[in-house]
Amino acid sequence: MARVLIIGATSAIAAEVARLHAARGDALFLLGRNDAALRALGEELGPRVVGLLAADFGDMKENGERVERALAALGGVDVVLVAHGWLGDQLTSERSFEHAADVIATNFTSAVSFLVPIVNALESQGRGSLVVLSSVAGDRGRPRNYTYGAAKGALSLYLQGVRSRLYKTADAVRIVTVRLGPVDTPMTKDHEKNIFFADRGDVARGILRCEERGPLDIYLPWYWQPIMAAVRTLPERVFQRFQFLAGR
């Protein structure tokens, strides 16, 4: 039985991961922003949930204490999933610093406020897996989502640094960046769907595999790795000529 902390548990993908862990008999502590949705998920998963905590993740000075409460309830931790995020509105973020700051805080700064105590706990105990959901949007600035992408790019870079800091314990402490492509969830309900949109169940199963094995910096679904490799290598002036890449 694994002891699992999920931050952002009411997101569609994280909830699917929680269901998979509960089906395996793991102990879960669920931390989310939506109290009603969190309680509903807790009732669904039943006795596998040892604790629930609804909180405003923007109140970042309290996030360390929230992690401590979760670890105490679990009696330690084997797996942590950090899964919260917010797309925001790109056009609004170009005209309102306040909106841009909220997007960056939600997707980067608040994540770091959780990661500092979590990484220290894993380092102290010398084992465990931390899986953090980033995005392919962080690989290249595009007009349609560059504020969100900049925050996710910063998060991916931060995790690279954590892995280098802990490289001597990499076999025992896994720090995994999952660069997600678009997934069919409520967060993307207003987006026109195409063949590249992944199923949330497939993605959740991929995340579960990442906790135990595989690369420490991974694209889900897998086909985004070659796609983004090509996108990253395009010179900027060439990239800007392709409207399907650089358009709104």
Which member of 148, 158, 167, 223 is catalytic? Answer: 148
Quick one: residue 214, left, alpha or beta (phi over 0 = left, psi -120 to 50 = alpha)?
left
Kindly report the backbone phi and psi dihedral angles of residue 88, in degrees, each rounded to the nearest multiple of 5, phi listed first.
65, -165
Alpha helices in the chain (DSSP H): 12-23, 35-45, 63-74, 90-95, 97-104, 110-125, 146-165, 200-210, 224-233, 236-239, 243-246
* Structural tokens at position 160: 């690279």
Angle of helix 63-74 relative to helix 110-125, nearest 10 degrees?
40
C-alpha pair distances (Å), 77 with each of 40, 124, 231: 23, 11, 37
Residue 167 a catalytic site member: no
Q: Token pair 């999920």 is at which residue?
A: 6
At CB < 8 A and 24+ separation, what contacts does 158-166 make? 158/108, 158/112, 158/115, 159/115, 159/132, 159/134, 159/217, 160/217, 162/115, 162/119, 163/216, 163/217, 166/119, 166/123
**Could you give the residue numbers annotated as active site?**
148
